[in-house]
Amino acid sequence: MINKFIRQNNMKTFEQEIKQGQRFEFGKNWQSFLSSLTDERIKIAENSIKEMLQVAHLKGKRVLDIGSGSGLFSLAARNLGAKVHSFDYDPASVACTKMLRSRYFPGDPNWIVEKGSVLDGDFLSSVGSFDLIYSWGVLHHTGNMWAAIENAASLAKKNNTLFIAIYNNQDGRSRLWTKIKKFYCSGLLGRAITSTIFIPYFFSKTLISSVIRSRNEFAAYKKNRGMSIMHDWFDWLGGYPFEVATVEEIFNFLHPKGFELKNIRNTNHSGTNQFVFVKESD
């Protein structure tokens, strides 16, 4: 309780964090991503949810999308028949999600979009209860990953599902990337230097891999949850705050809280480990 009070009162505003170079402007990147959104990408996003949850639809389910970003996965969940509640800490991400709602579900009472933080206990206690708590690639970008995981998990009641994706811990490599991302967010110079070095590097790597595999890896990337390779390069390069965890750490944190692991897609590289847990006991 005291910890929660201290955490809330230490919270800086989004604008302060940006000004002090402590946060990537995810929402701006998502605004640019939305111009490349197609029906095909939306379908791929829907399939990514169905495959991990091993379901055909989400009819009759209440879904909370924590850190909705572009809003694509809120839209996918809504298309699959769920009642959706989306929130994000970045006002530009909130605007993206609202834009998708007004484009695809204008005036829909079954899709709420608002600004909020998963680290804000008072806000979370106002959102209600959900069959599926979805937070993909978010909790490690909050600045307090374990508190964020704890808060997201605390929303799950018996039989509710928690679907999270958390960056894999690669020890020294992860520590190096934390420094690069921090430098990117530090200001104009940081952005210019890191982009000048890494964007051509990412581009060349993808080009070489396209040649080796004889397929266009730039275009094929969309098979990855409907994402766009260029926007994901910037999301990766600038994505700060940045924390990581091993599969074991996540499991050891959630299992004692009554969560059983139902599905996992893990990596040995620098991407995310994806987990589907169901809360089976208190």
Ligand X SMILES: C[S@@+](CC[C@H](N)C(=O)[O-])C[C@H]1O[C@@H](n2cnc3c(N)ncnc32)[C@H](O)[C@@H]1O
Residues of this chain, 36-95, that bind ligand X according to CB under 6 A: 66-70, 73, 88-90, 93
119 binds ligand X (CB under 6 A): yes
Among positions 142, 206, 273, 274, the unique one binding ligand X when judged by CB under 6 A: 142
Among positions 42, 62, 233, 235, the unique one binding ligand X when judged by CB under 6 A: 235
Q: Which residue's CB is nearer to ligand X, number 164 or number 254? A: 164
3-state SS, residue 206: helix
Side-chain half-sphere CA neighbours of 42 within 13 A: 15
226 binds ligand X (CB under 6 A): no
By the 8 A CB rule, do 260 and 158 touch?
no
Q: Report, in Å, the least distance between residue 147 CB and ligand X.
A: 10
221 binds ligand X (CB under 6 A): no
Span from 138-146, 204-212, 242-250, 262-270 in contact with ligand X (CB under 6 A): 138-146
CA 273 to chain centre: 12
Span from 130-138, 171-179, 215-223, 256-264 in contact with ligand X (CB under 6 A): 130-138
Please spell the DSSP secondary structure of 13-27, one letter per residue: PHHHHHHTT-S--HH
Give the Cα separation of 146 and 64 in Å (integer).
Answer: 19
Give the Cα separation of 107 and 84 in Å (integer).
Answer: 13
By the 8 A CB rule, do 158 and 270 touch?
no
237 binds ligand X (CB under 6 A): no
Q: How far is CA 54 from CA 65, 123, 131, 277, in A?
A: 18, 31, 15, 12
Q: Which residue's CB is nearer to ligand X, number 44 or number 138? A: 138
Q: How far is CA 117 from CA 89, 147, 152, 221, in A?
A: 5, 12, 11, 30
Please spell the DSSP secondary structure of 111-131, one letter per residue: EEEEE--TT-HHHHTTT---S
Q: Which residue's CB is nearer to ligand X, number 62 or number 258? A: 62
Among positions 117, 161, 194, 273, the unique one binding ligand X when judged by CB under 6 A: 117
111 binds ligand X (CB under 6 A): no
Span from 111-119, 166-174, 209-217, 256-264 in contact with ligand X (CB under 6 A): 111-119
Site for ligand X, rule CB under 6 A = 26-27, 66-70, 73, 88-90, 93, 117-119, 136-138, 141-142, 235
